[in-house]
Amino acid sequence: MAIRRKLDSLRRLSLPANFLNALNLSKGQATEISIQYGKICIAKFENQDLQTKPFIGIIRNLDSQDRIVIPSEYINLLQFNCGDFVNLELENGFIKIKK
């Protein structure tokens, strides 16, 4: 099930509560943001990931309003614009974002 959200002027995206609950994410929690197959992917980040994963994406914390700032490099690469509506899906432990 996809949910639509608007990317605000500061590249922030509000994440749905049910997605956060499914990934056991809370305010201030560290997340890993990466691009996989043309989609921005957000997952919970744990310090142990540094030793167990072959690569790590960009680490960002959720703010107090359950928003995440999408890295400008990813915005530019995927040709997103502030004000765009994007689709969010929960899949295999990731929140996946696409236009």
The answer to whether residue 10 scores a pLDDT higher than 90 is yes
Distance CA(65)–CA(81), nearest Å, equals: 21
Answer whether 97's CB lies under 8 Å from 86's CB: yes
Domain ranges across the chain:
3-98
The answer to whether residue 50 scores a pLDDT higher than 90 is no
The answer to whether residue 46 scores a pLDDT higher than 80 is yes
Q: What is the reported pLDDT for 59?
A: 95
Of 74, 94, 90, 92, the closest CA to residue 82 belongs to 74
Read off the pTM: 0.91
Determine the Cα angle at 16 with ends 35 and 68, to 5°: 50
Distance CA(75)–CA(64), nearest Å, equals: 22
Q: What is the reported pLDDT for 49?
A: 84
The C-alpha torsion from 90 through 67 and 82 to 34, rounded to 10°, is -50
The answer to whether residue 36 scores a pLDDT higher than 90 is yes
State the DSSP code for 11: S
Pick among 2.60.120.650, 3.50.50.60, 2.60.40.790, 3.40.1550.20: CATH of 3-98: 3.40.1550.20
